[in-house]
Structure 1
Amino acid sequence: MKQSFTKGIFAAAILSLTITSCTSENRDEIVSPEEVAVQANAENLNSDLLDCSYVDVNWASTAVLKTGLPLATDSNFMTGQMTKIAAYWKRTKPALSFVSDAANQNSTYNAISYSTGKIYYGYAIFADAKAKGGNIVNAMILAHEYGHQLQYAYSLPSVKENTARPNELEADGFAGYYLRRPTGYNQDTFAKIAAAYEFAQSIGDYQTTSAGHHGTPPQRRSAVRLGFLLAQYDLTAADFDYNFFYYYTGVLNETYRTAKNTRFPELDAYMSNYTEELKQIQTNEISAEEFKSLK
């Protein structure tokens, strides 16, 4: 049986699972292949979609695993981003699949990263993210999920708590980092990233004692802002982890003042300009609207 590591939006999961593989034998052929191809060409539908009869225990029993999204352009964007994110970190690309549920589409409002090298992305969260902010929001979510793949690979995060918060906030940071990097999503102004992350912070939670706690909305905002700032420098995943928690924790308890970041002095000099701002984001002194205007 597969065990869920965290619950809720943007989740990570560990241990193994068994699923039915996606093959042409599982495909739901309502019309002939020729008719599907004609319709797909006319409406930009994905004529190569395959589906399976079972996903896993993290999804509704009526959910179906898909090889793509209804629109071919959406599928191409997501698979292209998956390739680009993995290439940026110089690692193997995870298997990206999508989850649909005709009986209850809201059940697919999630994305989960598995320790077995898979990412499952729900139809509902993709559609809502695209409607609210366009492609960059789904690029952000995918980069967040890939952040969990980095955590699996390098035994991160280095900070542990009784909830999923450090895992999820660091994944937010990894996403902010990737969105800014020139060879990543290459967004050079924070306003573009902040608009995408309004989607993420909107599903932050205040269940601070729950095992599945992902961080409050202000904490999620500060995590992506920190990731964006760290993207001024080219860092390995391990170095990112070190700096992320050095500043994320340090700006609240001010330990960064008493234990200087001697490992990264140039980065520390740069970050010293932003520590007070990060604290104000974390404590909600900088509102969501002000957050969007940060440079």
Structure 2
Amino acid sequence: MNKFKALMLTTAVVISITSCDNNENPEISNNQNAQLSLGGHISHKDCGYIDNNWPSNAELSTTRIINASETNFLVGQNANIASLFNINTVPLGFAIGNGTLNAISYGAGYIIFGESLYNYALDNGGRISVAMVQAHEVAHQLQFRNNIPSRNESTARASELEADAFAGFYIGHADGYNADWTTAAPAYTFSASLGDNNVNSPGHHGTAAQRRSAFRLGWLLRDNAYPGARSFDSSFFRYYDQYVLAGALRGETEFTRPEGISEDVHEYIMSKMDELHKISTGEISEEEFLNL
């Protein structure tokens, strides 16, 4: 933990796990095999692969990231995430080279995961942090395909926090990563490290505390059967907007259980609302959070 804090204080780079839904025609790639594996979609005019989001020296690969063991892990996680969320496995490419501290989910239907980000995640939480990032990126694919999030904001926050919740759900679910909280906490730590305080920026992803609470809410939903993307979206914002962020509705004598959420899970979530609200405001410290 101390090593992690020191790294976050001294690093000069900005990490982004994000989405890109500009579907302009692809430019020609210097890696034809990778191009074919990703359906021919490699670059975009305004939100592009290599020339915009990646350093010019980065190379695209669909066969390796770091080494065979790590490649197999990420490919396996990608397939398992898609299975839990009832979609076909999302085509996955790897950006190889220095400065690839990013992961991008493209509206054209594929994901690029940077080698530098993979190494950084391994150093700060291990493989579960890698799995969290990949689940977050697959969640953006769910958003593209289902016209969600239903919550509209002037920044990217709603989309990013919901993707964090999808990721938390995957990390905790028995058919997902199946992590108890002690195991899941490093992924939370990594997720929170990607928060920002640029609340008026279009690219604002949510503060560290908000990302922490969104991931925790998703993890708390782990015992519920996956209800589908739109139902998950509706339930997430019903809980998150009105309870976690606003701390509202606490005086209600009756709260309608969201559709697709079991009665037992609903009661469990409601018992955690004060905790979740305090997480979102920063009243619960990082150390306290890890010991929940």
Q: Is the alpha carbon distance of 1:96 and 1:220 closer, same or farther for their aligned partners in structure 2, counting shifts above 3 Å?
A: same
Would you say the 8 A contact 1:8–1:212 is kept in 2?
A: no
Which is worse superposed, 175-184 or 61-70? 61-70
The 4+ residue runs of structure 1 with deviation greater than 6 A are none
SS in 1 for 2:92: strand
Q: Highest CA radius of gyration, 1 or 2? A: 1
Q: Does 1:226 align with 2:217?
A: yes
Cα deviation digits, residues 138-177 of structure 1 (max 9, x gap): 0010000011011011111110100000100000000000
Q: Does 1:162 align with 2:154?
A: yes
Q: CA deviation at 1:55?
A: 3.0
Q: Tell me how far apart the structure 2 counterparts of residues 191 and 250 of structure 1 sit (CA, whole Å).
A: 28
Q: Which runs of 5+ in 2 are unaligned?
A: 1-13, 36-41, 44-48
Q: CA deviation at 1:236?
A: 1.8
What is the TM-score when the length of structure 2 is the normalising length?
Answer: 0.82
Would you say the 8 A contact 1:230–1:240 is kept in 2?
A: no
Q: Does 1:71 align with 2:37?
A: no
Q: Tell me how far apart the structure 1 counterparts of residues 246 and 130 of structure 2 sit (CA, whole Å).
A: 33
Q: Tell me how far apart the structure 2 counterparts of residues 237 and 158 of structure 1 sit (CA, whole Å).
A: 11
Give the alignment of 1:24-63 within 5 angstroms: 55-63=50-58
Q: Which residue of 2 aligns with 1:122?
A: 114
Q: Which residue of 2 aligns with 1:147?
A: 139
Q: Tell me how far apart the structure 2 counterparts of residues 265 and 182 of structure 1 sit (CA, whole Å).
A: 16
Which is worse superposed, 260-269 or 173-182? 260-269
Would you say the 8 A contact 1:163–1:210 is kept in 2?
A: yes
Q: Does 1:22 align with 2:22?
A: no
Q: Which residue of 1 aligns with 2:275?
A: 277
SS in 2 for 1:113: strand
Q: CA deviation at 1:200?
A: 1.6
Cα deviation digits, residues 1-31 of structure 1 (max 9, x gap): xxxxxx95111000224142734699xxxxx
SS in 2 for 1:16: coil
Which is worse superposed, 197-206 or 140-149? 197-206
Q: Which amino acid letter does the alignment assign opposite residue 275 of structure 1?
A: M
SS in 2 for 1:133: coil
Q: Tell me how far apart the structure 2 counterparts of residues 196 and 72 of structure 1 sit (CA, whole Å).
A: 23
What is the TM-score when the length of structure 1 is the normalising length?
Answer: 0.82
Q: Tell me how far apart the structure 2 counterparts of residues 183 and 287 of structure 1 sit (CA, whole Å).
A: 30
Q: Which residue of 2 aligns with 1:253?
A: 246
Q: CA RMSD in A?
A: 2.2
Q: Tell me how far apart the structure 2 counterparts of residues 25 and 144 of structure 1 sit (CA, whole Å).
A: 23
Q: Which residue of 2 aligns with 1:98?
A: 94
Q: Is the alpha carbon distance of 1:216 and 1:276 closer, same or farther for their aligned partners in structure 2, counting shifts above 3 Å?
A: same
Which of 172, 183, 188 is the equivalent residue of 1:180? 172
Q: CA deviation at 1:212?
A: 0.4
Cα deviation digits, residues 40-61 of structure 1 (max 9, x gap): xxxxxxxxxxxx9973522222
Would you say the 8 A contact 1:163–1:213 is kept in 2?
A: yes
Cα deviation digits, residues 49-104 of structure 1 (max 9, x gap): xxx99735222222221222131011111111111111111211111001123xxx
Q: CA deviation at 1:126?
A: 0.1
Which is worse superposed, 238-247 or 251-260? 251-260
Q: Does 1:205 align with 2:196?
A: yes
Which of 229, 234, 254 is the equivalent residue of 1:237? 229
Q: Tell me how far apart the structure 2 counterparts of residues 253 and 244 of structure 1 sit (CA, whole Å).
A: 14
Q: Which runs of 5+ in 1 are unaligned?
A: 1-6, 27-51
Q: Tell me how far apart the structure 2 counterparts of residues 186 and 208 of structure 1 sit (CA, whole Å).
A: 33
